[in-house]
Amino acid sequence: MVEVQHVTKRYGSLTAVDDISFRVERGEILGFLGPNGAGKTTTMRILTGFLPATEGQARIAGFDVFEQPMEAKRRTGYLPETPPLYPEMTVAEYLRFVARINGMPPGDRRTQVGVAMERTKISDMADRYCGKLSKGYRQRVGLAQAILHNPDVLILDEPTAGLDPRQIIETRRLIAELAGDHTVILSTHILPEVSQTCQRVVIINRGRVVAIDTPDNLTARLQGSQTLYLQIDAQGAEALATLEGVDGVASVTCVDEHDGIGGYEIESRQGDDVRRELSRTVVTSGWGLLELRPRQMSLEDIFLQLTTEEAPTEAVHPGMVTPGDEADVTVEDRVDE
C-alpha cells in the first residue's frame, strides 16, 4: 500500500532523511519511532507530497507521490504535527471545507462529515469555532479531517501529542479501529505507544532506519542483556559486594541511597535471568526485598543499543555536526559522552 524506496532529503548540506526504504501492507499499522529531529516529520511530509524527496521514490497505493501527486493525495489522509485548523471556522464548517477540497460530491459531504465527527467523538463540538477548542479537541478535529474522505492511507504525525491520558487511550483505540480499512503510518517518540498500537515499527535516528521489526521481536532483541532495578533495606560496601557475588550478575551500580534503603541497578550477563538468584541472596542475607523489576528501556537506551548493534564500526565523532538531530538533546548528550 505504501512503498518507500531509497528516499533521501537534503536541505543544502544538511541530510534530514538518508536513504530510507520500507513498505507498509494494506490494513497494517506502522509505527515510526525516533527522537525529535530524527526525520520522522520529513519522511511523512514526503509521503504526503508536501515536500519533494531529493532522491528516491515513494508510492501510495501504487501512485508515485511526485509523478502523480493528485492521485496519491486523494488516497492519503494526513494529520500534521499541529492540526491544520482555521480558527475562524466552526468544526462542521471546517470539515465541510476539507470535504469539498478533497473533491467529495456535495451530497456526500454532510453525511461524511457526520460520520467523521461521530468516529472522533466531536459531534457535540460541531458548532464551536476551531480557534476556541482545547488541545485535545483540536487534535481530534485534525484526525476527523484526515479520515474524512476515507483515504486508503492515513499518515498521522504524533497523533497523541499533547493529549491527556484518557484521550491518549481513546485515540489509540480509534487508530486501532481505523486500521481495518485503512493503512496507518503514525509517528511517535513514546516507546509504549508503538508496542500498544503498531504491528510493525520503523526505528529511525538521524535520518536513517535503524531497525524495522514487530514490537515483540524488537523487545526480544533488546533483552539480550537485561538491567534490573533492585531496592533493599541495606546499603554500603557489604551489600554491594554481596550482590556482585550473585551468579550471573555482570555489574552492580548503586543509584540511590537514603534512610538505610539502597537502590541498585544490576546488569546481568547475556541470556541469564538472575532474578531468582538475586531474591534468594537478598533473603538469605537477612535483608528486606522492597522492589525488584526489569528497568524500563527508555528510547535513548534503545537507540544506544540499536545503533551500536547495527553499526559497530561506525564511530561517533564528538563535535561532528550530525544533521537531523539538532533538536534532540538526548542524542547530543550521548555524543558528548
Partner 1 sequence: MSNILALAQKELRAYFVSPMAYALFGFFALLFGWFFVASMNVMLQFSMGQFGQGGPQVVNINEFMIRPLFGNTAVILLMMLPFLTARAYAEEKRSGTIELLLTSPLSDFQIIMGKFLGAMTLYGIMLAITLIHIGILFWYGDPEWGPIVSGYLGLLLMGSSFISVGLAISSMTKNQMVAGLSTFAVLLLFWIINWVGDASGSTTQTVLSYLSILEHFDDFSKGVIDTTHVTYYVSFIAFGLFLTAKSLDTARWNG
Of the candidate residues 62, 67, 86, 257, the single one contacting partner 1 (CB under 8 A): 86
Tell the smallest beta-carbon distance from residue 159 to partner 1 (Å).
15
Contact 56, 7 (CB under 8 A): yes
SS3 call for 27: coil
84 binds partner 1 (CB under 8 A): yes
Q: Could you tell me the CA-to-CA distances from 157 to 33, 108, 131, 217, 238 in Å, in that order?
A: 11, 27, 21, 24, 51
Alpha helix stretches (DSSP H) within 120-156: 135-147
Tell me if 64 contacts partner 1 by CB under 8 A.
no
15 makes contact with partner 1 (CB under 8 A)? no
48 is a contact residue toward partner 1 (CB under 8 A):
yes
> Which grid cell is 119?
468516529
> Which 3 state secondary structure label does DSSP give 292?
strand
- Give the whole-angstrom CA distance, residue 287 versus residue 282: 6
- To which H or E segment does residue 254 belong? strand 249-258
Residues 158-197 that bind partner 1 (CB under 8 A): none
80 near partner 1 (CB under 8 A):
yes
13 touches partner 1 (CB under 8 A): no
- Taking CB under 8 A as the binding criterion, the range among 46-54, 173-181, 270-278, 298-306 that sits at the site for partner 1 is 46-54
Q: In the set 81, 170, 265, 267, which binds partner 1 (CB under 8 A)?
A: 81
* Sheet architecture: strand order including 227-232: 249-258, 261-268, 227-232, 289-294
Nearest partner of 202 among 323, 67, 7, 23, judged by Cα: 23
- Minimum separation from the CB atom of position 49 to partner 1 (A): 6
Q: How many other C-beta atoms are found inside a 10 Å radius of the C-beta of residue 280? A: 12
Answer for which of 40, 59, 73, 138 binds partner 1 (CB under 8 A) is 73
Site for partner 1 contains 82 (CB under 8 A) = yes
Q: Which residues contact 304 (CB under 8 A, 6 or more apart)?
A: 334
Position 137 contacts partner 1 (CB under 8 A):
no
The verdict on 50 binding partner 1 (CB under 8 A) reads: yes
**Cell digits for 21?**
526504504
**Interface pick for partner 1 out of 15, 145, 268, 322 (rule CB under 8 A):** 145
66 binds partner 1 (CB under 8 A): no
Beta bridge partners of residue 231, listed in sequence order:
263, 291
Classify 192 as helix, strand or coil. Answer: helix
Stretch that binds partner 1, among 70-78, 161-169, 252-260, 293-301 (CB under 8 A): 70-78
Three-state secondary-structure class, residue 25? coil
Which C-beta is closer to partner 1: that of 42 or that of 197? 42
Residue 108 binds to partner 1 (criterion: CB under 8 A): no
- Judged by CB under 8 A, the stretch of 76-84, 119-127, 193-201, 260-268 that binds partner 1 is 76-84
From 55-63, 71-79, 114-122, 170-178, span contacting partner 1 (CB under 8 A): 71-79
**HSE value, Cβ hemisphere, 13 Å, CA-based, for 329:** 0
Q: Counting contacts by CB under 8 A, is residue 88 touching partner 1?
A: yes
User: Under the criterion CB under 8 A, does residue 91 sit at the interface with partner 1?
Assistant: no
- The residue ranges that bind partner 1 (CB under 8 A) are 11, 16, 42, 45, 48-52, 70, 73-74, 76, 78, 80-82, 84-89, 93, 97-98, 100-103, 145
